[in-house]
Each structure stands twice: as structure tokens, then as C-alpha cells.
Amino acid sequence: MTDVLKPQVLRLGNFCYRINPGDKLSDNDSLQFNYTEETNFTELDPAGSGADVDSRVKEISPGRFFASVDIPSALFRFIIGKKGDTKRKLEYETRCTIVIPARGVEGAIVIKGKTARSVTSAITRIEVLADSGRQKTDFTHFVSVPMTHPVVQRHYQKFQEQVLTQFSKCHGVDESIFQNPDKLHLTVATLTLLNDPEVTQATEVILSCADELSQKLGSDPRLRIQNLDYMNDDPTAIDVLYAKVRSADNSNSFQVAVDLLCSRLAEAGISRQDFQRDRVKLHVTLMNTLFRKDTGGGGPGPGGRNFKPREPFDAQSMLKVMGLFDFGEIPFPGFHLSKRYSTSCTGYYETVVDIITSGSSS
């Protein structure tokens, strides 16, 4: 439930807009290409409020102004709207001409108008629509810490065998809900990167943090993966079971480094994380009902996931017996910018860039 005292906001230049949680779509809806525009443009128009003219606006001749806005093509549909309704409304209310590249073609949106203020107004409205659309679009990449060290995989195999041997009769427990051992990881942040320039920007931000992160982590950082926990309040109806991760020396160095990287990504405006939280939860997902094999005819979603209602599992007895399970201690494997729904030759996610371990693109 959204905290009314801490609403989700969208910042564009000197303007700050509150995002109505009622406008958010589910992951299902984000895959659809029809979009009904409900934005009240009169509330977003800075033209009559004494707002400064956007620096991207250029005068090409007396009474003729021009600007271009770089928006990923995946977000054009939110600016065009159903049957072009949103674009027509924008053009009518700003008295501008808006030229959008064809679907699937990357390129800037061109705005032409008779006044600098009208073009500025169109820029602001287009960016608000694009950022709102980005929030409704599934994330494409994530910053991860791989937990695929042989030590962890060996203990994970023992964990899985013990669960299936002792607790297979517990409701909802079956082999299909276990994480693939080659993809065990800790998620630091999720990112929606919709074209090559955005991937490059994220890569540069991550690489720019390398020295500072190394300093926070120390000369020989090691991690301990130990103790089970779950996401909800009822151990008899769990969707996600995970193992906790911490610095092996019981310091807070790993937590500090993770939070630092998250803050840098947030400052750059490329992370989807809710940074109103004080700290990132350090955990490795072991069992997830999203992985469950479809036995009810539900259609597969991206990456083979299903959209049918999730069936939780009962882990109460498991937690009593195995709650302190130790998956071992490993050297810190680095931060990776990973591509969602991908598999590399190692079995792990495709990596765009990693730091600490190599300090350069892989």
C-alpha cells in the first residue's frame, strides 16, 4: 500500500510531479501496445507559470522554433496514444507540430512551434508521458552479485536435496520452484534500459563507482550466505524463500557498498528501486513460486514465467529445522550489470559489464 506521506514522484528539471499509483499497470498490461491517455495537461504546462524556456529550444527563423527530444522508441506508444489521440491532443493544446519516428526506429522526437514557450511546454509534456510510460514498462537489466561459486552451489544442492527429502509433502513444495543453481544471485537494483545509449549510461555510472566501492569493501572482501527467511508474514503460505547475505567479518562494509551503488544509480535517474527504503535487503532467492511449472494452462510470460495466480508453499516446518542453514563463505565476486531473461555460456545471465573483479567490460 502506498504511503501517502511518501508518494512516488517524478522530477523533470525544476519541476516535481506526483505519480498517481492508480495509473500504474500490471506486468501484464505493460506488454500491451494500446494506451489511453488520462494525463491532465493543464496541470503540467509550465508555459503560463513563468517557467524558463528549455535550453533545447532553438529559433530557426522569426516566429519559428524547433527542439528535438531523445526518447527511446519503446516509449513512443505512450506519446502517440490509442489511435494517435495523445499526440493530437498534445499538438492541439501546445499549438506545435510533433514528428515521431516510425515504430521500432530509434531517433529524436522533433517539435516545431511558433513560440519558445509552446515548444518548451510540449517538451515537458512529452517527457512526463515518457517517464510515466517507463514506470509501466518491465525492467530489462539488473545489477547483480553472482552467487554461483562452487562452494555455494554445493551447499545449495544439499539444501535442495534435504528439502525435497524431508518436506516434499508440505503444501506447494516441489522441485520446480527452486532457483536454477547457475543463476543464484543477489539483486542490487533493477533498471529499465531501452536502447544502447541508456545501456552505455548505466555502464559508465557503474564503472565510475569502482574505486569508491573497492575502498568501501576493503582489500579482501568475503561474503557469508547463511540463515533462511521469507518475504511475507505467514510461514505457511510463502512465495519467496531466501538466504541472507552479509560480510564474512560481520562488518557492514558490503551493505555500505551496495547502498552506495544504489544511490549512484538513483542520482543518475536510471534505477527503478524505491530509495525511500533505508537499506537494500541483502538476500539470495532460493525458492520462488514464480518458477513453478504451469499445470493449469496459464500462458507463459516473458522468460517463461506464468501469469496465473501464484500458489504459495508451506515452509513452517522447513524453517524450524533448516532455518540456520549455511551456504558457505566466498570471495566477493563483483557487481555485474546483467541482462534479464538471458543466459550466457557459463549458465549465468549475460553480463554487460562487471566491476571489482575485472574493472572493465566483459
Residue 237 DSSP class: S
CA atoms within 13 A on the CB side of 237: 4
> What's the confidence (pLDDT) of residue 142?
96
Strongest mean pLDDT among 49-63, 164-178, 262-276: 164-178
Residue 99, pLDDT above cutoff 90? yes
Backbone angles phi, psi at 276, to 5 degrees: -75, -15
Helix H segments across 196-292? Answer: 196-208, 210-217, 253-267
The percentage of residues in the chain with a pLDDT greater than 70, rounded to a whole number, is 78
> What's the confidence (pLDDT) of residue 51?
55
Q: What is the mean pLDDT of residues 141-162?
A: 97
Cell numbers at residue 275, please? 530509495
Pick from 38, 46, 37, 42: nearest CA to 15 = 46
Q: What Å distances lie between residue 112 and 61, 91, 93, 97, 100, CA to CA?
A: 11, 10, 13, 5, 12
> What's the confidence (pLDDT) of residue 308?
66
Rg (CA), the chain: 24
**CB-CB contact of 202 with 300 (8 Å):** no
pLDDT category, 104, cuts 50, 70, 90? confident
pLDDT category, 28, cuts 50, 70, 90? very low
- Alpha carbon distance 349, 184 (integer Å): 10
**CB-CB contact of 356 with 210 (8 Å):** yes
Pick from 340, 284, 244: nearest CA to 146 = 284
Write out pLDDT tens, residues 69-81.
999 999 999 999 9
Residues in the chain: 362
Write out pLDDT tens, residues 243-297.
999 999 999 999 999 999 999 999 888 886 655 556 899 999 999 999 987 544 3
pLDDT category, 302, cuts 50, 70, 90? very low
Helix H segments across 148-229? Answer: 150-166, 196-208, 210-217
pLDDT category, 52, cuts 50, 70, 90? confident
> What's the confidence (pLDDT) of residue 43?
44
When mean pLDDT is compared across 21-35, 263-277, 347-361, the lowest value belongs to 21-35
What b/e sequence results for 43-67 when a residue is b if at least 16 CB atoms lie within 10 Å of its CB, and e otherwise? ebbbbeeebebbeebeeeeeeebbb
Return the bridge partners of 59, or none: 65
DSSP E strands in the chain: the ranges are 9-12, 15-18, 58-61, 64-69, 96-99, 109-113, 141-146, 185-191, 222-230, 240-247, 283-288, 326-331, 335-339, 351-355
Q: What is the mean pLDDT of residues 174-201?
A: 95
Pick from 261, 245, 218: nearest CA to 354 = 261
Q: What is the mean pLDDT of residues 2-24?
A: 56
- Alpha carbon distance 287, 291 (integer Å): 8
> What's the confidence (pLDDT) of residue 26?
40
Pick from 308, 172, 294, 160: nearest CA to 234 = 172
Residue 313, pLDDT above cutoff 80? yes
Instruction: Please give the single-letter amino acid code of residue 85.
Output: D
